[in-house]
Amino acid sequence: MSYCVMCAVVKQRMQVFNSPYKTCLDCVRSIYHSEGGRAFYRSYGTQLTMNVPFVSLHFVVYESAQDLINPARQYHPLSHVVSGGAAGAIAAAATTPLDVCKTLLNTQAVHAAGGVGTHGGVVIQGLIQAVSTVYRCRGIRGYFSGVTARMVFQTPATAISWSVYEFFKFTITNYSRHEDASSAIPLTVPACFLD
């Protein structure tokens, strides 16, 4: 998880408009030298806080959708794609406010923080400070910045993930049943015991 958080910081810093970094390694070196190693983990708590409800909601929505469109729980690729896509979209939309705060913590965008940031001397340190900064600068609507893009990204990703999972579950289960049936040794009783 900590490696993923570090990668997210580098990715988001490089995606910011007019990013000064030329390569990932350049970004890592620059962040480390100017802000220290802690800058890579500024959003760690927020990432955990976001992932728990995302995954929980993701599973609940997937299972609920399967109850509605595939109550027999048969292997049905279309139902897995639809349920997985819906699960990703709803979980992404619901956790977007936390994602916005995580992005603010990772990028420390000067314009979003009202002229402060790593270059202005004030660094937004945690989730509470990020929540209040987003509200102060953008209001309630600020918490849902990029919600459509996040849903568009998560919908196919989770649809594919669930489809692949269900395919392998179906394949392995059927293979196991086939192996069990073919390896069953017929019980034969020697003739001497029949008398």
DSSP letter at 188? -
The rounded average pLDDT for each run of 10 residues, N- to C-terminus, in the chain (195 residues) is: 77 86 91 87 87 95 97 96 98 96 80 44 83 95 96 96 96 80 53 48
Classify residue 90 by burial, with Cβ atoms within 10 Å: 0-12, 13-18, 19+.
buried
92 is written with which tokens? 């992404």
Whole-number pLDDT of residue 183:
59
How far apart are alpha carbons 30 and 33 in whole angstroms? 5
Q: What angle do CA 34, 37, 40 make, to 5 degrees?
A: 100
